Amino acid sequence: MRVFVLFFLLFISTCLLAQSKKELRAETTRLEAENAALKNELTELKKPKEVDLNNPHQKASYGLGILVASNLKNQGGDSLNLESIIIGIQDVFLNRELKCDEQEASMTVQVYMQQAMEQKAAKMKAEGIAFLAENKLKEGVKETASGLQYKVITTGQGKAPTANDQVTVHYTGKLIDGTPFDSSIERGEPATFGVSEVIRGWTEAIQLMHEGDKWMLYIPSELGYGERGAGGGQIPPHAVLIFEVELIKVN
């Protein structure tokens, strides 16, 4: 009798264990399916939404987004939280209760953007100093007393300009991270200007060149656009500028 009871209990335990494993497998399968569905939803949410540029309202809205975002990035607002920006816009447009009033928002943004600009400028300045310190050690790079650095690519045999001359040049300008900001070559037409009418780094470098010369110029911030920057944010404050310049003609 005792043996029968033991076998019966063992049988019941085995059945319960099998049922438990079956339920566990089913639960695991369900959770895996839910996880896959959530991943698909997340992937869809991350996909950029389509904008109908034939719709004047959508086109204007999208254009405004570009302008606002570009302006914020140029002012050092790269660290702003995009989701929070969208929530703030939605709260205003949908007449929801605002989490802070406009006066507090204005003061908060002003302080934040000022600090962001200062941090961006300090980073740009430090990166420029480090770049020039390393660059001047490279083969073929020369440095003048002002800190201007240059490298001769092609040597011409023509005349050298003075500060009172006009010159015609082809050039391409970029930042030290390789971002281009201006190019007469892309425009398909060389530029003509007075030697003394440009940034100090150019004025100095052009007078060292001869017609037919092609040089690489590495211009410190203080010989370029300094703490102001230029180009509507294309050239940030304290940016070191790199130019490839060909002196075509002294006019």
Given the residues 131, 150, 171, 218, select the one marked as catalytic.
171
Residue 14 has pLDDT above 60, yes or no: no
Q: Look at residue 34 and tell me if it is in a domain.
A: no
pTM for this entry = 0.67
Specify whether 181 is catalytic: yes
Given the residues 12, 181, 213, 218, select the one marked as catalytic.
181
Residue 39 has pLDDT above 90, yes or no: no
Closest C-alpha to 225, from 243, 239, 204, 205 = 239
Q: Look at residue 46 and tell me if it is in a domain.
A: no
Pair 123, 76: CB distance under 8 Å: no
Q: Look at residue 65 and tell me if it is in a domain.
A: no
Residue scoring higher pLDDT (30 or 149):
149
Give the CATH number, domain containing residue 209.
3.10.50.40
Q: Look at residue 67 and tell me if it is in a domain.
A: no
Q: Look at residue 222 and tell me if it is in a domain.
A: yes
Which tokens go with 246? 């060909």
Residue 107 has pLDDT above 90, yes or no: yes
Q: Residue 244, Cα to own-chain centre: how many angstroms? A: 22
Specify whether 150 is catalytic: no
Specify whether 182 is catalytic: yes
Q: How many domains does the chain have?
A: 1
Pair 176, 118: CB distance under 8 Å: no
Q: Are strands 149-154 and 141-143 parallel, antiparallel or unpaired?
A: antiparallel
Backbone phi and psi for residue 247, each to the nearest 5 degrees, phi listed first: -85, 105
Closest C-alpha to 221, from 195, 239, 207, 205 = 239
Average pLDDT, the chain: 86
Domain that holds residue 181: 133-250
Q: Are strands 166-175 and 191-194 parallel, antiparallel or unpaired?
A: antiparallel
